[in-house]
Amino acid sequence: MRLCMIGTGYVGLVSGVCFSDLGNEVICVDKNINKINNLKKGIIPIYEPGLEELVLKNYKNKRLNFSTNLKESVKKSDIIFICVGTPTKKNSNSADLSQVYTAGKEISKSINKYKIIINKSTVPVTTGDDLEKIISKNVNKKYFSVVSNPEFLREGEAIRDFVYPDRVIVGSNDSKSQRVLKSLYAPLISKGAKYISTNRRSAELIKYASNAFLATKVTFINEIANLCEKIGIDVEDISIGIGLDKRIGSRFLRAGPAYGGSCFPKDTKAIVSTADKFKTNLSIIKSVIKSNNIRSDLLSKRVNFILKNKIKNKIVSFLGVTFKANTDDMRDSSSLKLIPFLSKKGAKIKYYDPTGSKKEFRKLKNVEFSSSIKESLKGADIAIVHTEWNDFKSINFKKFSKNKKLIIYDMRNIYSPDKIKKHGFKYFGIGR
Ligand code: UGA
C-alpha cells in the first residue's frame, strides 16, 4: 500500500520506517527541510536502537522516501497518517491540537480520490469528529474516512513494540476503512498481534486510558516504595509478590524516580482536562499527577538525608539524566529537578549519560558533563544512578573509585545491596 506519514517525529518516523519494512511504499513528510535532508543522508534526529539500520535499508530499496511536499505526497498515497505533536497548552492542562487541525486542512486540499486519514497522534476523544468536519469543508465525505489508530510504542523499544504489539487498535465508523486497515496490519496479526476494531471515539479513549493506567501503576508502586523505606523492607519483593497475581501483572511495577517522558505527564493531564469538559471527575488520575509531581522533592529530601544535611561541596557523580534508559529524551525527566536542587545546595555535579551532554544543564553552577563513567566517579562522594542503562548495571565501583566511603544511591534498584555493601560502600535504593 502507499502510505504518507505527516510528521517525522518519534511516532511518524518509527511507524513509517516499520511500515516500509513490511513492504509498503512510504513517504515521510515534514516541514523541516533540514530534518528531511538529513534523513535522506541517513542522519536520524532521535536516538532509537535499530532505527538507523532500518531507515538506511528501506531508503536504499526505495520503499521509504522523505519529502517536504505535503500536497504531492498526499496525492500519491492511499492512507495518510497524521503523526504530529499534541503538547500540553501553555497555561492549561489540555492538549494543543493546532498541528493536527492544520494537517487536516492541508490534506483536505490534496484529496484527488478516496483516502483514509488516520490519526496516530495522541488526541482527546472527539478530535476525530472535529477533523472530519474540517476536511468535509473542502471534500465530500464519500472521498475520505477519518480513523483513529493510536500508537503504543515505548521510546527505546519502539521497533520491537511496532513489530510485536500486544494489540492493534483501529477506531473507525465505517467498514471500508476497517477492511483496508486490517489488511495493512495483516503481517503483524499473522505473527500473533490482537487486532481490535472499534469506533473512533473508543480508540481515542483507549490510548489515554492506557497511558493513565500505566502511570497509575508506576505511581502506586512508588508510593508503596515510600512505605517500604519507612518499614525497612524491600519493594522489589513486594513487586514480585503482587505482580505474580495475573490480575495485577508484573510489568510497570518497578519503583524509581518520578515517571517522565513525553507521554505520561502530558496524557494524564490531558485526560483529566477532557473529563472536566464532560463534567466527570477523574480523581484517581488527579492524585497520580499530584503524587508524581511531589516525588522529585521527596527524592531531593532523601539525598539530603543520605548526605546528613551536608550537600555543600560534596562531589556528586550523577549517572544517566534522560527520563529512562535507551533514549536521549530529557522531557520531564526527574534529573531536571534533582540536578538543579543539588547545584543550588552547593554540590559539585559530574554527570554522565551515554547519549552525551545536555543543554539543559549548561548554565547551572558547578554542573559539568563527564565523558565516561570512570571520569564521573573520580573523587565522588556519592554516585546517584538515575537511569537503568545496561552500561551502569555492572560498574566496578571499587576499580573506578578510590573513595572507600563512596555512597551509592541506586534510583532504579539495579544493584544487589548485599554485593555493594560487601565492597564496603554504603548503599541506598528506592523502597529498600
Ligand atoms: C509510554 C507508553 O509505555 C507507550 O505504550 C506509549 O506508546 C507512549 O508512552 C506514548 O504515548 O507515546 P514511554 O513514554 O516511551 O512510553 O515510556 P515508558 O517505558 O512507558 O516509561 C514512562 C515512565 O515511567 C518513565 O519515566 C519510566 O522510567 C517510568 N517507569 C516505567 C517506571 O518508573 N517504572 C516502571 O515499571 C515502568
Which ligand 1 atom sits nearest the alpha carbon of residue 251? 36
- What is the residue with the minimal CA distance to atom 31 of ligand 1? 252
Neighbours of 353 (CB within 10 A): 22
Q: Which fold has domain 208-293?
A: N-(1-d-carboxylethyl)-l-norvaline Dehydrogenase; domain 2 (1.10.1040)
Which ligand 1 atom sits nearest the alpha carbon of residue 222? 33
Residue 4 is a catalytic residue:
no
Angstrom distances, CA of residue 307 to CA of 264, 342, 395:
31, 11, 22
Q: Which fold has domain 295-429?
A: Rossmann fold (3.40.50)
Non-local CB neighbours of 310 within 8 Å, separated by 6+ positions: none
Angstrom distances, CA of residue 387 to CA of 153, 200, 320, 370, 390:
19, 37, 5, 16, 9
Domain boundaries of the chain, sorted by first residue = 2-198, 208-293, 295-429
Give the model's pLDDT for residue 21: 98
Is residue 257 a contact partner of residue 334, using CB atoms and an 8 Å limit?
A: yes
Pocket test for ligand 1, best of 46, 119, 155 (most atoms within 8 A of CB): 155
Name the grid cell of 242. Answer: 503482587
- What is the residue with the minimal CA distance to atom 16 of ligand 1? 154
Neighbours of 9 (CB within 10 A): 18
DSSP state of 232: T
Ligand 1 centre from 94 Cα, in Å? 20
Is residue 86 a contact partner of residue 97, using CB atoms and an 8 Å limit?
A: yes
Give the model's pLDDT for residue 80: 98
For 277-337, the three-class secondary structure string (H helix, E strand, C coil) is HCCCCCHHHHHHHHHHHHHHHHHHHHHHHHCCCCCCCCEEEEECCCCCCCCCCCCCCCHHH
Segments in the chain below pLDDT 50: none
If you search the block for the grid coordinates 477532557, which residue do you land on?
A: 274
- What is the residue with the minimal CA distance to atom 36 of ligand 1? 252
Query: Do the domains 2-198 and 295-429 sit in the same CATH topology, yes or no?
Result: yes
Q: Which CATH architecture has domain 2-198?
A: 3-Layer(aba) Sandwich (3.40)
> Could you report how far apart the first and last alpha carbons of the chain are, in Å?
52
Which ligand 1 atom sits nearest the alpha carbon of residue 329? 15
Give the model's pLDDT for residue 91: 87
Sign, CA torsion 196/197/201/202: negative
Ligand 1 centre from 264 Cα, in Å? 7
> Which of 4, 18, 228, 263 is labelled catalytic?
263
- What is the residue with the minimal CA distance to atom 19 of ligand 1? 154
Edge-to-edge strand list for the sheet holding 2-6: 64-67, 25-29, 2-6, 79-82, 115-119, 144-148, 167-171, 194-198
What is the per-residue pLDDT across 60-111, written as a single tens digit (0 to 9) for each?
999 999 999 999 999 999 999 999 999 999 989 899 999 999 999 999 999 9
Distance CA 333, CA 339 (A): 11
**Could you please report the per-residue DSSP string of 104-171?**
HHHHHTT--S-EEEEE-S---TTHHHHHHHHHHTTS-GGGEEEEE----PPTTSHHHHHHS-SEEEEE
Ligand 1 centre from 162 Cα, in Å? 15
- What is the residue with the minimal CA distance to atom 18 of ligand 1? 154
If you search the block for the grid coordinates 483536505, which residue do you land on?
A: 108
> Residues with Cβ within 6 A of ligand 1?
122, 151-155, 211, 214, 218, 252-254, 256, 259-261, 263-264, 323-324
Angstrom distances, CA of residue 322 to CA of 136, 259, 327, 408, 410:
42, 11, 7, 19, 15
Is residue 71 a contact partner of residue 109, using CB atoms and an 8 Å limit?
A: yes
